[in-house]
Amino acid sequence: MSEALLELRDLSGGYPPVSVFRGVSMSVGEQESVGLFGPNGHGKTTLLKTVAGLIDPWEGDVVFQGRRLNAEGKMRPRISRNFNYDLFQKRRIRAATVVEAGVIYVMQGNLLFPEMTVEEVLGVAPLAAKGRSGVREMRERVHHLFPRLQERRFSKIRYLSGGERQMVSIAVGLLALPKLLILDEPTLGLSPKLRLELMQAVRQIRESRVPLIIVDQNIEFLSGLVDRLLLFDHGAITREIDAASMPSHDEAMAMMFGESH
């Protein structure tokens, strides 16, 4: 594996006082694509939201290209509920810092901006790239990747189908010129045809060597896309599998829950 791009060191977090994931350590290398597989409600999305800077980590570090993105140390617990801690306690990680570093998180089932048109949303998206060059080329590629969005450019997001919204979400992520793109269940709740279309698009993104973290419930989908698969179970990474020995869906379920899942 080449040098680590993103590294999580003993990361713990959750929604205080509920701890959701504990001691997660993982890394993603340059040009690498990593899959995260695990059942619903085990904390994958919470972990990724923490990495993206939406939720404060409790402990541990998020390091990207050798730079720590979160504040040092542990989160101090609240002693009293009758006190405005937010005045004194700064956020421990900021989405703006993470985006600036180049880590772009594409939320799961994202509604984006319901009252804006596709064109307006795609116009705002490159703001995340903070003036880096290459937006024009990326716009071309996005057109090529999702021709359907071109047809629907004057529609409000509210009127798009689930699949089209997902396409807009991914397009927004790409227009931010990510150095690492995190896709959280891109095919969630889509019809088989749309699912295929989207899988095709993700494959093309993969081929363009953008480093990826992909979460999905479907191992068959992941196995063609990722170099490594991490099994995520009860808030921790329990197993790491490389591409050569990719299990089938049933095998993976068996690894996590025993034979009689």
Partner 1 sequence: MISVDTFLFVLASGVLLGGLYALMATGLAVVWTTLGVFNFAHGVFVALGAYIAWQVTQSVTGSVGYLLGAALSVVLMFGVGFVLHYVLVKPFERNANLVLLAVITTLAAASIIENGILLVWGARDKQIAPPISGTVGLMGAEISANDVMILMVALLALLVLAIFLRRTAMGRAMRAVAQNREAAELMGLNVSRLYAMTIGLSAATAALAGVFIGSVRFISPTFGSDPLMKSLIVVILGGVARFTSPILAAFIVGIAESFSVYFLGLYWAPAVLFAMMIAVLLIKPEGLFGHRSKTL
- Judged by the rule CB under 8 A, the positions of this chain that interact with partner 1 are 52-54, 84, 86-87, 95-96, 99-100, 104-105, 107, 110-116, 120-121, 123-125, 127-128, 130, 172, 176
Find the shortest distance in angstroms from Cβ 208 to partner 1: 21
Minimum CB–partner distance for residue 120 and partner 1 (Å): 6
Burial of 3 per CB tally in 10 Å (0-12, 13-18, 19+): exposed
Side-chain-side CA neighbours of 192 within 13 Å: the count stands at 0
Q: Which CB, 53 or 163, lies closer to partner 1?
A: 53
Q: What is the C-alpha to C-alpha distance for residues 79 and 72, in angstroms, rounded to an integer?
A: 20
Structure tokens at 195: 């699912």
Q: How much is the CA Rg of the chain, to the nearest whole Å?
A: 19
Q: Which is nearer to partner 1, 149 or 231 (CB)?
A: 149
The least CB distance from residue 16 to partner 1, in Å, is 11
Residue among 180 and 231 whose Cβ is closer to partner 1: 180
**Distance from C-alpha of 48 to C-alpha of 228, rounded to nearest angstrom:** 17
**Nearer residue to partner 1 within complex by CB, 12 or 108:** 108
Shortest gap between Cβ of 210 and partner 1 (angstroms)?
A: 17
**Cα–Cα distance between 229 and 244 in angstroms, integer?**
10
CB 102, min distance to partner 1, A: 10
- DSSP of 47-99: HHHHHHTSS-EEEEEEEETTEE-SPSSPPPPPS-SSS-GGGTPPPSS-HHHHH
Nearer to partner 1, 25 or 89 (CB): 89
The residue among 127 and 196 lying less far from partner 1, judged by its C-beta, is 127
CB of 211 to partner 1, least distance (A): 17
